[in-house]
Structure 1
């Protein structure tokens, strides 16, 4: 969607949702407007009426225009001194320099654009020369597979995406996930967290935090969204588009393999695809590359604790009430001894849609700890898989009343049966 949309058109676009005639997802697909944008318009309208739909003036608007040659040259100089440093370092040094010169400040996005527009040969050479060992760089891809898979939440056959992280040096696969839409920043952060922590395909101690994280062909705007990643880990993050990848042959071979496998199924669904991809990665891909990965790790940097990576999780928009030291979330019951001190209080929740067995619990922005669904403690089930199971239960009880306790027990039973 390239053209600007004025106030009245914004209102007309979200009007069917406000009148409860259409869902935001449907409006998003019809108008080609991101769901997150529509959600922001609706929230702004509910707070301030049509005034909330007026285009706000950005606090950093035009700051890059006031950046003189001295400032631009300083940023370039910082980059060429060490092309492998992360942009956060360049940004912080540039702010300090401009402040000392009594010049106007600039945004992180401006520094990102300046660095990204530098000589591509120099940047590419710096990238290649930086990958000399395993875990120097992880690469992320979200690739559509040319097959149709049954989405059991909609009963439609859809084109799935495989979201995958490679180790650039060894070509071993660190982790993957399956989705029915191209990955956004939220999903990328979750998969990256999984890549750092989770031993998906081996018990060997070869996981950890890379020096650089390369994101291929994903549009992330504004780039300030990457700030937390670079600052908290810290690592260097780069977004590249429309570049040939040495991993393309992997996706071609995987797609051909899955097409053959899918013909054996009456209904090729999410779980069938997930199992097929995992088996392919384990048996046909990583067996060739694990030795190279394991034997060439240098300066292994591991996360000190899962708590260090909490900023990569998803925050629930609403609170939950604590009852009998337990809290209900996504129709699962989570327990923590610390919750006994917060009975009848509302707490906030942080969760991982790729694995719903536990959640982080907060009271007034203070982290209380982890609450666990004891029945799922040894299982890794995604929110998507959970919703499919819960939908099955609802269909089985069509036109019948079902209380929360029965619903929970049947959910756990179906999970265990699968």
Structure 2
């Protein structure tokens, strides 16, 4: 039996065109349109009747005619599957959805079963449809992740994960330096013989990622440790294979008290360096230094005795290195490995990238001038005949012989107590050494020579002043002829004869 549709004349084939609106379709819609076009292609290209095409494709004839009409009217866009008008809408009241979301956002974070139980009780009381467990699960897992983090983990965690930040990027070497501290995952032997975890302070050049300076200390970060690392970073290195030095144009640090001290701000002003501080409680934008700490931890400390990463059992008993040995190991890693290995972001070794700028770093006039700015350990002392007394040690230098009894200011490097720098009236005087610690010693001959020279100098000054006094007194002293004749003294009366004491003497009896 032949249907009525079979007797209807077939529509002539239409040319295939792609309207501009096709670019506005999503990928699933575009794919569905192409699938439907492939089904209609035998009819469009070869004039296969719709009835036969419906039998072959297993699709109702009315559906094929609807697709064909949409294609002729709107082109390929008309064949795209349209989304449902009620997509994303649930069959439960919106107020119940908000209740489920509010329960899921409570602190502490409740379980899905708890949220489902409470929401079902409220729905039964209000006469709403009882939500299924799957519905509650779907609603809670569709919550905005930022909203969940803010509700359950607080503002600080939200800032860390979702706040938009500005990342500074230097355009040349020594334009921006970054500094930060971290407590190392390694135990060392302290001078008292007990194990301790040291702190590492690192200063990094933002442009090249090269390490400009570092300091290792057992005490917590302070303005002193920052100044010592800054001093090493600025001055020329004693190691010939470590070239990074100079005064930076800007210094990017966090808002800790060790970086915001009045002294360090004055140092920045004297060095003509602009400081940039992170917002209090928001140490953002210093991920480059944090990445450097992770590199030191993984590639340097992991191979040293006493290494104890976080989450592992206490390994304080495995400490073998002293603080000086750890500092030497980190310095060797910085010079021989880190500064010479291509960086994952810049693609070049840090030291090579720093040197590629073809510039002359800006340096202070002398190391003494830099120390006067940076070394915050300044102690007033009095020069004694046997030298300067400090920390139960004596510091000597031949120049001190001329300043015995004078008040001076000493500045010292806590990492090297073998010598101190002596300043007298804000002027550098000398470097006094401790014979017990320094490799260079002051002999008794040197002390005797300095002592005799000082004594001769003082005697010369005495003779000079005595000659001036005698000369001035002789000028103003009158001559003998100008003096008045002395008068004859009056005769003094004879003194009375004291009476003989009436004392008994036993020998006269």
Identify the TM-score tier after normalising by the shorter chain.
0.5 to 0.7
Name the CA distance, whole Å, in 1 between partners of 2:188 and 2:237.
27
Q: Structure 1's 266 and 204: CA in aligned 2 closer, same or farther, altered over 3 A? A: closer
Task: Indicate yes or no: 2:339 matched with 1:286.
Answer: yes
2:429 counterpart of 1:369: yes
In structure 2, what is the Cα distance between the partners aligned to 1:357 and 1:253?
33
Tell me, yes or no, if the aligned pair for 2:223 and 2:261 is still in contact at 8 Å. no
Which residue number in structure 2 is paired with residue 242 of structure 1?
Answer: 283
Q: TM-score, normalised by structure 2?
A: 0.44
Verify: 1:133 aligned to 2:172, yes or no: yes
**For 1:320, which of 344, 362, 382 is the aligned residue?**
382
Q: Judge conservation of contact 1:147–1:160 (CA < 8 Å) in 2.
A: yes
CA drift at 1:371: 1.9
> Within the alignment, does 1:164 sit opposite 2:202 as a pair?
yes
Contact 1:196 1:208 in 2 (8 A): yes
How has the CA–CA distance of structure 1 residues 169 and 304 changed in structure 2, closer, same or farther, with 3 Å as cutoff? same
Paired residue for 2:480?
none
Deviation per residue, 1:201-256 (Å, 9 max, x gap): 43565411111112246345866444312221111112224215123333223223
Partner residue, 1:251: 293
Gap change, CA 1:217 and 1:297, over 3 Å in 2: farther
Aligned pair in 2 of structure 1 residues 378, 136: CA closer, same or farther (>3 Å)?
A: farther
Q: How many residues align?
A: 254
Q: How does 1:151-300 map to 2 (within 5 A)?
A: 151-153=190-192, 155-199=193-237, 201-202=239-240, 206-216=244-254, 218-220=256-258, 224-240=262-278, 241-243=282-284, 244-256=286-298, 257-262=300-305, 267-288=320-341, 289-298=350-359, 300=361
Summarize the alignment of residues 40-59 of structure 1 with structure 2, pairs less than 5 Å apart. none
Contact 2:226 2:258 in 1 (8 A): no
Q: Structure 2 unaligned runs (5+)?
A: 1-162, 308-317, 342-349, 445-509
CA distance in 1, matches of 2:376, 2:224: 7
Question: Which of 402, 412, 419 matches 1:341?
Answer: 402
Listed as ranges, the matches of 1:75-114 within 5 Å are: none
CA distance in 2, matches of 1:205, 1:275: 17
Unmatched runs of 5 consecutive residues or more in structure 1: 1-119, 380-404, 406-418
| Matched residue SS, 2:272 | coil
For the 8 Å contact 2:375–2:411, the answer to whether it is kept is yes
Closer, same or farther: CA 184–374 of 1 in aligned 2, 3 Å: closer
SS in 2 for 1:338: helix
Q: How far apart in 1 are the matches of 2:240 and 2:255? A: 28
Identify which range, 265-274 or 340-349, moves more after superposition: 265-274
Structure showing greater Rg? 2
For 2:411 and 2:392, how far apart are their aligned partners in 1?
A: 15
8 Å CA contact retained: 1:338, 1:368: no
Q: Measured at CA, do residues 206 and 158 of structure 1 come closer, stay the same or move farther in structure 2, by a change above 3 Å?
A: closer
Contact 2:187 2:319 in 1 (8 A): no
Q: Relative contact order: is structure 1 or structure 2 higher (C-alpha 8 Å, sep ≥ 6)?
A: 1
